[in-house]
Amino acid sequence: MLSDIEICRVSKLLPIAEVAQRAGLLDSEFHSQGLHKAKVSLKSLKRLAPKPTGKLVLVTAITPTPLGEGKTVTTIGLAQGLAKLNHSVMACIRQPSMGPVFGVKGGAAGGGYSQVAPMEELNLHLTGDIHAVTAAHNLAAAAIDARIYHEQRNGYQDFEQRSGLKALRIDSKRVVWKRVMDHNDRALRMVTIGRNEADKTINGFEREDGFDISAASELMAILALATDLKDLRARIGKIVVAYDLNGNPVTTEDLQVAGAMAVSMKEAIEPTLMQTLEGVPTLIHAGPFANIAHGNSSIIADNIATKLSEYTVTEGGFGSDMGFEKACNIKAQMSGKAPDCAVIVATLRGLKANSGLYDLKPGQPIPESLFECDQNALEAGFENLKWHINNVNKYGVPAVVAINRFPQDSEQELLALKAMIEALPHDVEVAISEGFAKGGEGTVELAQKVVQQTEKHVEFTPLYKFDQPTEEKLMAVAELGYGASSITLSDKAKAQLEEFKTHGYDNLAVCLAKTPLSISTIGSVKGAPSHFDVPVRELKLCAGAGFIYALCGNVMTMPGLPDKPAFMNLDLDENGDIVGLS
């Protein structure tokens, strides 16, 4: 079989204007960016508002191996399968981060015959949205340190006289806005900035700082959750970047940088239209990392797609404890649009890995032994799938399990797994999905099951309401969302919670960051753990995004590169074409 990029290159793509027109957009509602990308104007939302809203299908997964279980393959494959059934359909996915593209995981365009194309444009830069988020984020960071420097170098009074501005008196030990970069760069996790030669202050005042990966920026969550440009601007202005010497919050509005940040993100708020290899229109918007970020595609993209099509297929990163949880509790509660059905992607290798009988580490290849038949391992790992089916149903959402078939999989084992799922008492259907090898032809059964499940009435039940006390909301995600027996806030987190309350930051959602490799907060704990604690080491107020962000366990918000990063395979060939991207 050809490699992903080879398949992509030999496929015949439609001009993007034709994709847009077929999707139902007017010529004034999109701007082509080269041959195969277009920015979709938010004007379309207004025109489409009176139209009926289509079904929203949310693709999630079992607890994945570090290489993922093929959620994007299944999302794109399913969209193509629905198109084969002559339904109007769109896919909504997130823009890949260059961190994983150059790091371990590689691209995030799907794979095989279920890809968004051209995959190299999707995986690199795209239309610059992540760069715009990075630029806006770091502008605020530069603004903070410049303000501290100018206010303190000759004293507040001198600053006020010189500039005509009121001193903000930022406490340089209490800056809560880090910098960001769209790379896996562990050396930037903890840095000291503002260093000087000898006793000078020409480079500002020294302080501790750090970099997160751009997808974890609050601005990325704002991009995903904003409903229009005005809402984006308003949310940006609410961001708390620091505290002053009296302990009061300092916002981007106080720094007079919120307007410029919104200006920098003015084009990023428009989703990018692309197509699958079979011509299904696909919107790309917002960023990945449902472990350390909100990590779902945008409300704006969903709103456009569900107005344009009968079915919108989107995905939430990692298992249903991760992206799906955030899609339901944060995104759906903000947008008012709940998923009509969840597709849970499972693989034989992923279930066996969930048996706990194998030692898988991020950055290392999947052992071949995982593809051998092993009923014991499958049964042990099945507990994890059952957990996720049950979890999805808990929100009132009907489920379909998509068994994502790998070429090495045994037919017998696949059928055994299918039978195990069919025997469950849950609200679940199952289909073997062959989107990778066969495109939409390989997902017709899956598409039929999805259509069937979306016909049901959904009594959507999020795990909490925004107006509950924050402790209760955190507890709801830990206990109902993960099945933990308890949640423990560190002293630091407790103090932060008190402070947020003091400043009136209540009634927000909660966004928990934890490892995606376990339902618990410890990556090596596989299967369907119970009787575990969720330790919250630190909280972060994201008043613009509208949630309180909780760092659980030892999760890190800036990944690192492995021994042999994926970038080593990338190059240009004789014709200037990209090779080695997958």
- CB nearer to a copy of itself: give 228 or 379: 228
Q: How far is CA 327 from CA 53, 57, 530, in A?
A: 18, 11, 23
Nearer to a copy of itself, 292 or 342 (CB): 292
Distance between CA 391 and CA 34 in Å, rounded? 42
Residue with tokens 């910098």: 179
Do residues 145 and 325 touch, judged by C-beta distance below 8 A?
no
Specify the residue, 143 or 343, whose C-beta has the smaller distance to a copy of itself: 143
Element (H, E) at 250: strand 249-251
The secondary element (H helix, E strand) that includes residue 433 is strand 428-433
The CA-CA-CA angle for residues 93, 96, 100, to 5°, reads: 140
For 396, counting Cβ atoms within 10 Å of its Cβ (0-12 exposed, 13-18 middle, 19+ buried), the class is middle
| Least separation in angstroms between CB 388 and a copy of itself | 30
What is the rounded CA–CA span in Å between residue 263 and residue 128? 14
> Cα 504 vs. chain centroid, distance in angstroms?
28
Shortest spacing between CB 431 and a copy of itself, in angstroms? 37
CA dihedral 428, 431, 435, 436 (to 10 degrees): 100
Structure tokens at 251: 């916002």
Quote the least distance from Cβ 98 to a copy of itself, whole Å.
6
Min dist CB 24 to a copy of itself, Å, is 21
Residue 420, C-beta contacts closer than 8 angstroms, at least 6 positions apart: 379, 382
Q: How far is the CB of 463 from a copy of itself (least distance, A)?
A: 32
CA distance 297 to 484: 27
70 is in an annotated binding site: yes
Q: Is 362 annotated as a binding residue?
A: no
User: In the complex, what is the shortest distance from the CB of residue 481 to a copy of itself, in angstroms, rounded to a whole number?
Assistant: 28
Minimum CB–partner distance for residue 163 and a copy of itself (Å) = 4
The annotation status of 107 as a binding-site residue, yes or no, is no
Q: How far is the CB of 182 from a copy of itself (least distance, A)?
A: 7
- The neighbouring-strand residues paired with 578 are 572
201 belongs to an annotated ligand binding site: no
> Annotation-wise, does 462 bind a ligand?
no
Looking at the Cβ atoms of 18 and 422, the one nearer to a copy of itself is 18
For a copy of itself, give the closer residue by CB, 136 or 508. 136
Closest by alpha carbon to 224, among 400, 393, 92?
Answer: 92
In angstroms, the Cα distances linking 429 to 398, 448, 450, 533 are 9, 10, 8, 32
CA distance 177 to 331: 23
Cβ 179 to a copy of itself shortest distance, Å:
8
Cβ-based nearer residue to a copy of itself, 144 or 539: 144
Q: In this structure, what token pair is assigned to residue 570?
A: 């990338």
**Closer residue to a copy of itself (CB): 27 or 459:** 27
Cβ proximity to a copy of itself: between 198 and 423 the closer is: 198
Per DSSP, the three-state class of 140 is helix
Tell me: is residue 82 an annotated ligand-binding position.
Answer: no
Between 471 and 571, CB nearer to a copy of itself: 571
Is 72 labeled as ligand-binding?
Answer: yes
Alpha-carbon distances of 380 from 161, 264, 350, 384, 481, rounded to whole Å? 71, 50, 11, 8, 21
For a copy of itself, which is the closer residue by CB, 136 or 399? 136
68 has binding-site annotation? yes
Beta-carbon contacts of residue 328 (< 8 Å; ≥ 6 apart): 338, 339, 395, 397, 460, 462, 463
* Cβ pair 210, 191 in contact under 8 A: yes
| Smallest distance, a copy of itself to C-beta of residue 14, A | 16
Binding residues: 65-72
Binding residues for ATP: 65-72
